[in-house]
Structure 1
């Protein structure tokens, strides 16, 4: 950055693994969108802010000119092979530590594998709903499920860096704020297990609340998906302000609440981080999907979010390119914003240096107790 001192390696506080296999245009393109369907006839998902960001930042890391045609880029990717292309791309991100949500299905790199390719470090984020579903697959009764679930969450806390919930997808964030009583939990478990096919998702609001409070009891940070996502989500049910009463109820728990992504409710997430000391936020995949408008989104988040409460993440999934775009768009947005604020006299140069270091590294190191 022209304004600040050299940045430390970034901590990506929420991401996923990448695919190990070779990708053609038909298998590459779906990772550029949250949609489940192909692009409209005669169009392509490369013609999006995400697609343009990939074409801007990734080709130079593979020896090509910025903005080269997608076909040329994918041909070069195939020439290098998936491992070498992934290695070069991850090496160009500036990310040193990856906090990896392992709850997504598919043949994705594990945290240690991802870190090994990138030459960095990694820690696991455990997805609560995945834990519940795995326990349910092995539970014969509701009593066994409730007991085994408590043990599984406790065991996961021994090695995980944080927990993550996708309650926004499964029910929405308008959940009753208090922990449900053991009797209600057992009744909900009985109903769910009786109706559930193997592998079925947990969607019952009582069980989702129970999961959240089990995680809070461990003292580890709890990440919550908020804002936009794929079509499984009802966007109006993912507004982070729906969590206000839950946030109040957890104020004395000792657990940090981390609001992920937020967009288009990123200002609401910033507000919650502003007024509740244990609430933090990121803008995650919002920057990759807003592309050339990333600086505007980050600026809107920084309107209210205290500078010690905002963290960097990519929410990259499947493609190493999404780590590149997430990191480059974030650091480019910082440079644009902080340069303007220093030039106009609103900020001092030392303050810009200090805040930049908090956002890329310091805040996450503190929240997740990283050495």
Structure 2
């Protein structure tokens, strides 16, 4: 057992750091099993040494965010604790400047600043800066699509790219929607709604609308990409697990000069018809060693939605793993039986 006393200079920021009714300190207590008692601009943390250090790292990094003019919310506290845990484990990530201070990767537009909340999110944002083609794969709720759109919107606002192109394959998720009324835009918009949602959260609605009208921002189904060369653009393909191998090859070969591509998807949620393999899985296998390609894999620990989502994802992953192990065991037993039968037939001869 140990205790750590932290003092913060700016009394105006301390209230936001500790949270209303010290709710941020309560989150830290619950997650790390420590006691955090605030008095004025000081907080005393008591508990096991590793947990106290993680609490210190988290509070110091959150205080830096407040000094930079950003707001913090309970979800940001959760993210700071994840990053602090990664630092304590001495993970070799580019975010780690030192054990005493964590640097979060972030992207900013005039409307919003988005900060990485997990080590995988941090690596993802930095990979988008570093590589021209980035794959982000993992379960729902890990921020794959939102961070990609946020990064692209940042480049567009800074003038670092001329166009933003968002695309998804128009595949029904296990349902038959039948005939959809309206023109082509009205027919495909339901499939592309998550991309619109992320875009409107990062940029003022009037600017998004102007961009859509001028063609500076384009939201289109994957089929519309064929035959094009996408230059001076950031191109995002969402739900890529629902592309076929031919569609994925077609999309990847659209990459033009001064462009970046970001491909996101969850290989465990393929909605393609039976017998069709996912183009995302094939691309990940084929391009693993190709220079200029980066792949960041998210897991259930990176889920930043409701904490119940992480438990749901883990339950499904555990069930899938058990089913796979049972299939392998059954196959092994069958092989043993076939070998034994062959030996008996040979002995009878």
Please state which structure has a larger fraction of its residues in strand: 2
Q: TM-score, normalised by structure 2?
A: 0.30
More relative contact order in 1 or in 2 (CA 8 Å, sep 6+)? 1
Higher-Rg structure is 2
Q: TM-score, normalised by structure 1?
A: 0.28
